[in-house]
């Protein structure tokens, strides 16, 4: 019985296969005996090669470690080329981000400033609107009070006219005549001022006359050019100060008023500059406008009109004088 075998991929018979196998075994034994010596030498050479390779490998590792140490040292000193490139890139990115942040900050500041300006403008506008509304309300209240006072005054004037006696009407006519007379004397008074004697001259005259005064002689300063001369006048009834006010002289007790003219120790006419002395608020300048039996109307420098009660003038709470030019 033959069984097909394959040697090197070719079919052979079993007997032939056995012969081939025996020959190959013999050949291997022969080769083994012949190659024992070279094999030992080769193994020794391989060992030498492995030792040299290990030494070279260690040397390469040492060189690599030295290179790494040099790189680390250059990095620590900041002179490593790659580090320099990376740092330049980092600086560029940092500067760019700083520019973007600065622009964002500038925009936010501008936006906040605009919001602040807008809010302040609204507050100012609202403040001015409130001021205008308050001023309008105050003016309306003043107009209502003024209208009410004028209405009450007209009622009182009507009542006074109903109860005016014949003597009062005659006295009013006399006052108007005296005011006209005083207006004629005003020009003479303003342009012809008499100089008073000096105290020494008066003393010499009295000594020549043989008159010796027991009391000290007091020389009065000359009155202003706008003061009126003393003259006999018809005094109104119940017009003197009941409190004996020291600020009113005897000639101040005679008060005549006629529309745009007033005699109150001095002659006043419409448009004269006057000095008003208030016992509470001080003194101020004004312009005389008109006068009645109950009040005197003056105009302040700001254009506002003030009404001074005649009773308060007589009591001395208000004093009115012509302003020296």
Token pair 């004028």: residue: 150
Token pair 């109950």: residue: 294
Do 120 and 218 share a structural domain? no
Inside any domain, residue 123: yes
Tell me if 297 sits within 8 A of 290, measured CB to CB: yes
Identify the pLDDT of residue 26: 62
Task: Report pLDDT digits (tens) over 163-200.
Answer: 555 666 677 777 778 777 776 666 555 555 556 667 77
Identify the pLDDT of residue 239: 36
Contacts of 322 by beta carbon, 8 Å cutoff, 6+ apart: 224, 226, 227, 266, 268, 272, 273, 274, 275
Do 178 and 284 share a structural domain? yes
Q: For residues 226 and 63, what is the distance between their CA atoms, to the nearest angstrom?
A: 123
For the chain, the distance separating the N- and C-terminal CA atoms, rounded to the nearest angstrom, is 171
Do 270 and 224 share a structural domain? yes
pLDDT band of residue 18 (cuts 50, 70, 90) is: low
Tell me if 311 sits within 8 A of 325, measured CB to CB: no
Mean pLDDT of the region 212-234: 41
Query: Is the model more confident about 222 or about 178?
Result: 178
Identify the pLDDT of residue 169: 67
Identify the pLDDT of residue 13: 52
User: Model pTM greater than 0.85?
Assistant: no
DSSP per residue, 81-137: HHHHHHHHHHHHHHHHHHHHHHHHHHHHHHHHHHHHHHHHHHHHHHHHHHHHHHHHH
Do 283 and 201 share a structural domain? yes
Range with the poorest average pLDDT among 142-146, 248-252, 302-306? 248-252
Query: Is the model more confident about 264 or about 54?
Result: 54
Number of domains in the chain: 3
Q: In what order do the strands lie in the sheet with 295-299?
A: 305-309, 295-299, 282-291, 273-278, 318-322
Give the CA count within 13 Å in the CB-facing half-sphere of 6.
3
Q: Which of 163, 191, 211 is the last residue of a domain?
A: 163
Do 245 and 315 share a structural domain? yes
Do 150 and 196 share a structural domain? no
39 three-state secondary structure: helix
Residues listed for the chain:
325
Task: Report pLDDT digits (tens) over 265-305.
Answer: 778 888 888 888 887 777 888 988 888 888 888 888 888 88
Q: For residues 295 and 307, what is the distance between their CA atoms, to the nearest angstrom?
A: 6
pLDDT band of residue 229 (cuts 50, 70, 90) is: very low
Identify the pLDDT of residue 96: 95
Inside any domain, residue 80: no
Inside any domain, residue 138: yes
Task: Report pLDDT digits (tens) over 90-128.
Answer: 999 999 999 999 999 999 999 999 999 999 999 999 999
Do 239 and 149 share a structural domain? no
Query: Is the model more confident about 14 or about 262?
Result: 262
Q: Single out the residue of 240, 258, 296 nearest to residue 182, CA to CA.
A: 258
Query: How many angstroms separate the Cα of 87 from the Cα of each of 68, 91, 101?
Result: 20, 6, 20
Identify the pLDDT of residue 210: 62
Q: Which of 120, 143, 163 is the last residue of a domain?
A: 163
Rounded to 5 degrees, φ, ψ at 98 are: -65, -40
Rounded to 5 degrees, φ, ψ at 120 are: -65, -40
| Structural domain for 114, as ranges | 86-163
Residue 242 has pLDDT above 50, yes or no: no
Inside any domain, residue 284: yes
Tell me if 274 sits within 8 A of 323, measured CB to CB: yes
Query: Is the model more confident about 262 or about 77?
Result: 77
Residue 202 has pLDDT above 60, yes or no: yes
Do 146 and 186 share a structural domain? no
Contacts of 174 by beta carbon, 8 Å cutoff, 6+ apart: 234
Tell me if 322 sits within 8 A of 268, measured CB to CB: yes
Inside any domain, residue 81: no
Do 107 and 193 share a structural domain? no
Q: Element (H or E) spanning 166, and its range?
A: helix 166-191
């Amino acid at each position: 019985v033959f069984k097909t075998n394959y040697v090197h991929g070719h079919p052979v018979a079993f007997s032939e296969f056995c012969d081939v196998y025996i020959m190959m075994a013999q050949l291997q034994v022969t080769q083994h005996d012949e190659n024992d010596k070279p094999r030992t030498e080769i193994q020794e050479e391989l060992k030498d090669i492995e030792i040299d390779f290990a030494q070279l490998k260690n040397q390469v590792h040492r060189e690599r470690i030295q290179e790494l140490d040099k790189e680390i040292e250059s990095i620590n000193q900041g002179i490593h080329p790659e580090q320099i490139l990376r740092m330049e890139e980092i600086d560029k990115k940092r500067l760019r981000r700083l520019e973007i942040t600065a622009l964002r900050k500038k925009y936010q500041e501008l936006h906040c400033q605009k919001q602040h300006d807008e809010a302040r403008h609204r507050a100012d506008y609202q403040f001015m609107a409130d001021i205008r509304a308050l001023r309008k309300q105050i003016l309306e209240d003043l107009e209502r009070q003024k209208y009410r006072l004028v209405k009450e005054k007209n009622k009182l004037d009507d009542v006074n006219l109903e109860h005016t006696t014949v003597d009062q009407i005659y006295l009013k006519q006399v006052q108007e005549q005296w005011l006209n007379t005083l207006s004629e004397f005003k020009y003479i008074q303003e342009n012809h001022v008499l100089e008073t004697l000096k105290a020494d001259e008066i003393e010499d005259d009295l000594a020549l006359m043989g008159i010796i005064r027991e009391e000290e002689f007091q020389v009065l300063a000359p009155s202003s050019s706008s003061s009126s001369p003393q003259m006999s006048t018809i005094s109104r009834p119940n017009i003197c100060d009941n409190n004996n006010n020291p600020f009113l002289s005897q000639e101040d007790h005679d008060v005549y008023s006629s529309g745009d003219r007033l005699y109150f120790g001095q002659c006043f006419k419409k448009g004269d500059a006057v000095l008003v002395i208030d016992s509470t608020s001080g003194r101020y300048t004004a312009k005389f406008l008109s006068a009645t039996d109950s009040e005197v109307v003056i105009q302040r420098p700001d254009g506002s009109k003030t009404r001074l009660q005649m009773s308060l003038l007589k009591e001395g709470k208000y004093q009115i004088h012509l302003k020296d030019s």
